[in-house]
């Protein structure tokens, strides 16, 4: 049981050895499912629960915290890593009500078969008194499902933000200790989960601006005793500004594409463009996602597999398209044995991006001198576009 303020405790669970989320997202440092117990002078509330795999540990923590009675189970988000224990906790506290918004109520009924009479719904901005403590519910949809909301505990100036501002990191420390490490984990989390919803987040940041927040308590990762760390980071990540950087993600079967990529990376580097290079055979998708947060340009490299892109390059394109980074420019480099439709199939997978596409550079077989000249021209064009867009000073 870890204390944030008088009668406010973190009672969730660290999942130290979880290595994958959604069977997709790498978790190099595990994760946590934070749940918070707020004991008012009259009522007690539990804010979120944990992944169903860890229900037993949550129950142990509640017993140790002396939570003999819980009146309200606040559900910020229906995803099972926070809601999955609700059915068991409702059995444990038969008089408790699930307090959430109408959309989340519907999703909890769909996903967890919770009976309708166990709910009390709240509107945006509505308050709930626990006696000497007051919870205020703030709708913050799309961080990262449409029903998500936060809770503001006014008396203690704590914002309970659920996924919003979170980081996948298991830790024995309640609060952020190593700011650089948490910044990296939070950026990885933002890139993988929040990046497509930048415009919604801009609205949420405005909504939160009047609050004098002393602590941000997310449902993954450590609590921010210095909220400026994560608020400033989010302001940067959701801005329209991109950096003088290029993400180059490639796969190569017989080294033609690899030779081109290596030459191209040198060409960009000589022109002062910072490069994030990923060989897709061995890439940590989280690192690729992080690099997409800031980069002005994305280049995909692929050989022609049968008549289309290599499946690993197509997978990367699908991922980039789903994450919807603020990238301004994109292109394809690669090779073919005889012919094919690799470049157009690959760029066809990037339909969500608002990018200007460069002409692809494709070698037939081994790259020729002419192909290397085209790569120099592409690097020069990227530099020129970055200058033209004011991304780098002329
Ligand atoms: Fe941590 Fe969207 O669940």
Query: What are the tens digits of pLDDT across the range 71-120?
Result: 999 999 999 999 999 999 999 999 999 999 999 999 999 999 999 999 99
127 phi/psi in degrees, rounded to 5: -115, 160
Query: What are the tens digits of pLDDT across the range 169-189?
Result: 999 999 999 999 999 999 999
Q: What is the pTM of this model?
A: 0.96
- In angstroms, the CA 254 to CA 25 distance is 29
Take atom 1 of ligand 1 and give the residue whose Cα is closest.
Answer: 163
Stretch 282-293: mean pLDDT: 95
- In angstroms, the CA 10 to CA 348 distance is 46
What is the per-residue pLDDT for 339? Answer: 86
Q: Is the CB of 220 under 6 A from ligand 1?
A: yes
Q: List the end-to-end C-alpha distance of the chain, in Å, as a whole number.
A: 55
From the CA of 165, how far away is ligand 1's center (Å)?
11
Q: How confident is the model at residue 268 (pLDDT cuts 50, 70, 90)?
A: very high
Cβ 21 vs Cβ 168: under 8 Å:
yes
∠ CA 38-43-47, rounded to 5°: 35
Looking at the CA of residue 144, tell me the nearest atom of ligand 1. Answer: 2
Looking at the CA of residue 33, tell me the nearest atom of ligand 1. Answer: 1
Take atom 3 of ligand 1 and give the residue whose Cα is closest.
Answer: 79
Q: Is the CB of 77 under 6 A from ligand 1?
A: yes
From the CA of 220, how far away is ligand 1's center (Å)?
8
- Average pLDDT over all residues of the chain: 97
What is the per-residue pLDDT for 394? Answer: 73
Looking at the CA of residue 145, tell me the nearest atom of ligand 1. Answer: 2
Q: How far is CA 38 from CA 6, 48, 163, 181, in A?
A: 9, 11, 19, 29
Q: How confident is the model at residue 340 (pLDDT cuts 50, 70, 90)?
A: confident
Q: How confident is the model at residue 24 (pLDDT cuts 50, 70, 90)?
A: confident
- In angstroms, the CA 249 to CA 228 distance is 33
Spell out the domains of the chain, with CATH numbers in brackets.
Answer: 2-238 (3.60.15.10), 246-386 (3.40.50.360)
């Amino acid at each position: 049981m870890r204390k944030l303020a008088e009668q406010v405790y973190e009672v969730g669970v660290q999942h130290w050895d979880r290595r994958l989320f959604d069977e997709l997202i790498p978790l190099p440092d595990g994760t946590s499912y934070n749940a918070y117990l707020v004991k008012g002078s009259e009522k007690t509330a539990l804010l979120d629960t944990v992944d169903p795999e860890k229900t037993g540990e949550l129950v142990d923590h509640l017993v140790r915290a002396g939570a003999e009675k819980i009146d309200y189970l606040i559900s910020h988000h229906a995803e099972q890593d926070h809601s999955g224990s609700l059915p068991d906790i409702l059995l444990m506290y038969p008089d408790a009500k699930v307090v959430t918004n109408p959309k989340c109520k519907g999703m909890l009924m769909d996903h967890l078969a919770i009976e309708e009479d166990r709910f009390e719904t709240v509107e945006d901005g509505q308050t709930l008194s626990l006696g000497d403590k007051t919870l205020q519910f703030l709708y913050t949809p799309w961080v990262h499902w449409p029903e998500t909301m936060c809770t503001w505990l006014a008396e203690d100036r704590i914002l309970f933000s659920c996924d919003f501002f979170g980081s996948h990191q298991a830790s024995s420390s309640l609060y952020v200790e190593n700011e650089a490490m948490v910044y990296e984990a939070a950026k990885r989390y933002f890139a993988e989960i929040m990046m497509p919803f930048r415009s919604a987040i801009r609205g949420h940041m405005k909504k939160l601006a009047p609050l004098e927040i002393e602590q941000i308590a997310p449902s993954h990762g450590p609590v921010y005793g210095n909220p400026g760390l994560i608020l400033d980071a989010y302001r940067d990540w959701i801005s329209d500004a991109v950096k003088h950087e290029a993400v180059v993600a490639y796969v190569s079967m017989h080294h033609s594409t690899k030779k081109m990529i290596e030459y191209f990376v040198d060409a960009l580097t000589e022109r002062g463009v910072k490069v994030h290079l990923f060989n897709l055979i061995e890439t940590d998708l989280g690192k690729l996602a992080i690099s997409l947060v800031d980069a002005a340009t994305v280049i995909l490299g692929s050989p022609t597999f049968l008549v289309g892109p290599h499946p690993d390059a197509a997978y990367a394109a699908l991922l980039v398209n789903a994450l919807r980074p603020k990238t301004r420019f994109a292109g394809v480099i690669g090779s073919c044995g005889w012919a094919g439709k690799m470049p157009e199939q690959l760029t066809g997978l990037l339909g969500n991006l608002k990018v200007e596409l460069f002409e692809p550079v494709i070698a037939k077989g081994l790259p020729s001198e002419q192909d290397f000249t085209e790569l120099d021209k592409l690097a020069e064009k990227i530099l020129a576009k970055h200058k033209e867009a004011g991304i780098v000073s002329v």
